[in-house]
Amino acid sequence: MAFHRPQKVRMFHRLRTFLGSTLGKKVAMSITGLLLVLFLIAHLAGNLLFFKDQDRSAFDHYAQMLEENPLLPLAEIGLLVLFVVHLGLAFLTTRQNREARATRYRVSQALGKRTLGSSTMLITGILVLAFVVVHLLDFRFKERAPDGLGAMLERRLSEPIGAGIYLLGVIALGIHLSHAVRSALRTLGADHPRFNELLQRGALTLAGVLFLGFAAFPLVVVGSRLGSTLASSSADEGAPTTPADPGLAPLPVSADGQGH
């Protein structure tokens, strides 16, 4: 009697074989990457509450609502798994592409040109990773200030180092996404001469919106502080000088030293 593997075992074996191939790794990396992009969209949408009011109360309420959600730990674990898997697959595929001098499946060769985003994917990915670590240390694992997360964020971005790190991380993210979104869609089969230009524009638009949205935080905070400083300086310079009260003028002194 011939031995037949159960269907689930065969499916698992095929899936493992597929994921072990170069194409399988690229597909998995594309899926995890697009899921992370969806998280970025949701994260930005919630964080825009930072600009709703001056005292950042709407943003603080949103942050508190998230922290009180019992599903938050599971969501954070899921994000961590996505990020680690995406990063690990990126390193593996980069190494395989470098080892294989001629590969049939290469996005850059299919496009016939290289862009800033495609040629710096690994570098920008590492910069984004470093930024995420700093971001978590600043706002997730740091003790919450009594005046709320909004005030903490504003103080951090008011510092030149804090604003510089944040802006550098956002620039790296924008460059990374400028190639990653379209590349992921192409890997998953969204590749047709009739729609390629539209997909390319859509991917670049999404990357641009995310970049501008996250870049707005340090730019607005720093711009607001500079505006307040300049306004205060102008007010001090334009303030009229109060004349001395004649009644308080010193009495004239005579030759004998007696005042009159």
User: pLDDT (tens digit, 9 = 90+) per residue, 93-130?
Assistant: 888 877 764 444 444 444 447 889 999 998 999 999 99
pLDDT band at 178 (very low <50, low <70, confident <90, very high): very high
Pick the CATH number of 17-99+114-231 from 1.10.150.20, 1.10.760.10, 3.20.20.140, 1.20.1300.10: 1.20.1300.10
Confidence at 38, pLDDT banded by 50, 70, 90: very high
What is the residue type of 123?
I
pLDDT of residue 211: 97
Mean pLDDT, rounded, for 233-237: 67
The pLDDT tens digits for 147-156 are 999 999 999 9
Phi, psi values for residue 201, rounded to 5°: -65, -40
Question: What's the whole-model pTM score?
Answer: 0.80
Model confidence at 253: pLDDT above 90: no
